[in-house]
Amino acid sequence: MRLSLEHIVPIPLKDKINEYNSRVWNQQLTFNSGERVFIQAPSGTGKTTLVHFLYGLRKDYEGKIHWSAFKMHEINREQLSQLRASSVSVIFQDMRLFPELTTWENIEVKRRLTNTVSEYDAEKWLDKLGVKHKADSPASKLSYGEQQRVAIVRALVQPFEWLIMDEPFSHLDYANRQRAIALIDEVATMNRAGLLLADLDDNDYFTYSRKLLL
Amino acid sequence: MKPLKQSRLVQKLLLRHRSNNRLWAALIALFAGTTLLLIAVMIWWNFNLILSGTHDNDSLGSTFLTIGKQVTDQSMGKKGASLFTPKEISTIENAPQVQDVGMLVSNRFPVYASLSVANGFSTDMFLEAVPDRFMDKQPNGWSWEEGNTQVPIILSSDFLNLYNYGFALSQNLPQLSQTTIQALAFDITIGRGLYTEQYTGRVVGFSDRISSVLVPESFIEHGNKTFAPNAPIAPSRLILKVKDPSDKRFAEFLQMNSYTTNTEQLRWNKMRGVVDAVATGTGLLALLLMGIGTLVFILFIELTIAKAEASLSLLLQMGYSPRYLGMFMLRRFVPLIVITLMASAIIALILQEVIAAKGKALNVTLPDLPGWPVWVTLAASAGVLLAFVCRSIFRAIK
């Protein structure tokens, strides 16, 4: 699946865009399937805004975003849900777990949507990230670090061609981050999926094909 | 770890905030509204059956009316003023609700009756005839051909009542039962002067429908032809078969043309007004209650969705489709609506059976099952309710 950005300009940041010297805003960009892209975004430059545009959560922008045949400015709600369920997965900066569900229920509510990943794999991945023992704990009782690891596993229990990540390791220590990176790399490779990671500082978590400044 | 059922997880997220008390209140309001609406339709439908004389309810006597021209001070002296012309008869045939018109033909020759067993009892009298299809009953022996000396007579029940409760009591005469009257043979003399004919008259039955002394049409025709060949044959009274005598347009037609009838026979006119008012009142109240019930139910659904808004929004972000979530909610709420409406339908079924049984006791035949207007109302209210619920669910999920 190819991702194209055609001169995207967020309307709230329209007046400030020219000051940034951005390599993303108001640019013509095409990301081929399987690419690994890092977007470095200093605070206040619209990193989360971009993730939300790409995932179809916000539409207050000028320009066009295409996920292959899906045109985000024309997409209907059913097509959007289809795109999210089977092509584009996301790890939100603020995790967005269901606080009233347990860790395992949070994973299952996503895994059951497509039934493409076995519960064995899901359980194994939770174990790899060290949160299997929290399977029956309500998400609201988990620490930020634990919530972030559950959110990472949840993003992986669906078929995807692109994984969008917004500061995905912000609450993880070095060891946990390395385990998370290894798991994401493994599953993305298995899916032959592209990665798009947005973060504040430059990093080499993955072997990026492109690094862009927002 | 055990795999979990998707629907159970979604239910936990979306319906966790559902209040059972509110749900019961909403369902009871809906049930009361629907039931009342069906009852209102049943009242209207059952009375309609009675008033329009369908379902063998002719016993209420409203489907046949005898009309005549009102005798006024102006028309009193005019000969033939009270007779119906062919044009008038044709107008009446096309009047609202009129299905058939028959002429009441009276004798244009003198008739003299005497009773030999009661020495000295004799009277001048009149005879009339109507087409047989207008008779409420045709007793055995109801026919006459030239050469027959026996003439069958059907007497109005009213006349016997007048005799028994008015005349006989005041004159100290014996009261007579119907069987006694039928056992008596009258000597009937028709004609005047030298040329008369003698017959034996026998009462063979009594009519509730026509206030007259009826003989077979053939007898009147024979007498009129023999003794008054030049007299007009126009009728002075008409008998009408009327589909719904309670129809205001029919009553207005009679009034406009100054035709008289037994006003008691039009009593259903007033009754129809009362029934219409009751049914309309109950219907409006029912619609109001049904509206409130629907509103409460929809508010309940919207409140449930509003409370689960955060979960709903996150499920959509996960990739759950609005259609799946909408159908999920519908599958939870529609069975409740169906059960509630079915409960109302059961009440309607039971009620109709009770109404039919009560009607039977009053000699009124009504069907044991509610008719199509009741089912149409039920289907329409189900349709409207489902449309509102669908709209409310899918709008809330957007």
CATH number at residue A161: 3.40.50.300
CB B53 within 8 A of CB B244: yes
Take residue B35 and report the two structure tokens written for it.
């039931």
Query: Which residues in chain B are closer than 8 Å to A98, comparing Cβ atoms?
Result: 13, 311, 314
Structural domain that includes position A45: 3-213
Cα B175 to Cα B73, B168, B213: the distances in Å are 37, 6, 19
User: Strands A210-213, A36-40: parallel, antiparallel or unpaired by DSSP?
Assistant: parallel
- Residue B79: Cβ within 10 Å count: 7
pLDDT confidence tier of residue A206, bands split at 50, 70 and 90: very high
The interface pTM score, or ipTM, of the predicted complex is 0.94
Predicted confidence (pLDDT) at residue B247 exceeds the cutoff of 80: no
The predicted pLDDT at position B253 comes to 87
SS3 category, B169: helix
B317, B319, B398 ranked by CB distance to A57: nearest: B317
CB A99 within 8 A of CB A139: yes
Say which DSSP state A138 is in.
B
What is the C-alpha separation between B68 and B263, in angstroms, rounded?
Answer: 12
Q: Which residues contact A113 (CB under 8 A, 6 or more apart)?
A: A85, A158, B6, B318, B319, B320
Domain ranges for chain B: 6-58+270-397, 64-242
pLDDT confidence tier of residue B100, bands split at 50, 70 and 90: confident
Of A9-18, A50-59, B45-54, the range with the lowest mean pLDDT is B45-54
CB contact (8 A) between residue B9 and residue A85: no
Query: Which residues in chain A are closer than 8 Å to B314, comparing Cβ atoms?
Result: 96, 98
What is the C-alpha separation between B114 and B111, in angstroms, rounded?
Answer: 10
Query: Which residues in chain A are closer than 8 Å to B10, comparing Cβ atoms?
Result: 109
The predicted pLDDT at position B365 comes to 80
The distance of Cα B392 from the centroid of its chain, to the nearest Å, equals: 42
Closest CA to A168 of A212, A134, A198: A198
Q: What is the dihedral of CA A65, A69, A70, A74, to 10 degrees?
A: 80
CB contact (8 A) between residue A113 and residue B6: yes
CB contact (8 A) between residue A86 and residue B316: no
Alpha helices in chain B (DSSP H): 6-14, 20-51, 86-93, 157-162, 168-171, 178-183, 217-227, 248-256, 267-307, 309-318, 322-361, 372-397
CB A60 within 8 A of CB A37: no
Interface of chain A toward chain B, CB-CB under 8 angstroms: 55, 57, 77-78, 81-86, 90, 96, 98, 100-101, 104-105, 108-110, 112-113, 119, 123, 135, 158
Take residue A93 and report the two structure tokens written for it.
């900066």
The fraction of chain A above a pLDDT of 90, given in percent, is: 91
Query: Which residues in chain A are closer than 8 Å to B324, comparing Cβ atoms?
Result: 81
CB B296 within 8 A of CB B30: yes
pTM confidence score: 0.66
What is the C-alpha separation between A57 and A53, in angstroms, rounded?
Answer: 6
Say which DSSP state B98 is in.
E
The distance of Cα A143 from the centroid of its chain, to the nearest Å, equals: 20
Could you report the per-residue pLDDT of B195-223, keeping only the tens digit for each?
A: 888 899 998 988 877 888 899 989 988 88
A18 vs B66: which has the higher pLDDT = B66
- Amino acid at position B286, single letter: A
CB contact (8 A) between residue B3 and residue A112: yes
CB contact (8 A) between residue A112 and residue B398: no
Of A101-105, A128-132, B272-276, the range with the lowest mean pLDDT is B272-276
Q: How far is B8 from chain A (nearest CA, A)?
A: 9
Query: Which residues in chain B are closer than 8 Å to A86, comparing Cβ atoms?
Result: 319
SS3 category, B214: strand
The predicted pLDDT at position B60 comes to 47
Take residue B372 and report the two structure tokens written for it.
């199509």
CB A203 within 8 A of CB A194: no
What is the C-alpha separation between B147 and B199, in angstroms, rounded?
Answer: 10
- Amino acid at position B39, single letter: I
Q: Which residues contact B277 (CB under 8 A, 6 or more apart)?
A: none
What is the C-alpha separation between B115 and B186, in angstroms, rounded?
Answer: 5
Predicted confidence (pLDDT) at residue B58 exceeds the cutoff of 80: no
The predicted pLDDT at position B269 comes to 62
Task: Describe the crossing of helices A119-128 and A174-191 by its angle, rounded to 10 degrees.
Answer: 150
Number of domains within chain A: 1
pLDDT confidence tier of residue B104, bands split at 50, 70 and 90: confident
A159 vs A17: which has the higher pLDDT = A159
How many degrees, rounded to 5, is the angle at CA B303 between CA B301 and CA B305?
Answer: 70
Beta-bridge partners for B213: B155
- Amino acid at position A90, single letter: V
How many degrees, rounded to 5, is the angle at CA B40 between CA B39 and CA B41?
Answer: 90
The predicted pLDDT at position B44 comes to 82
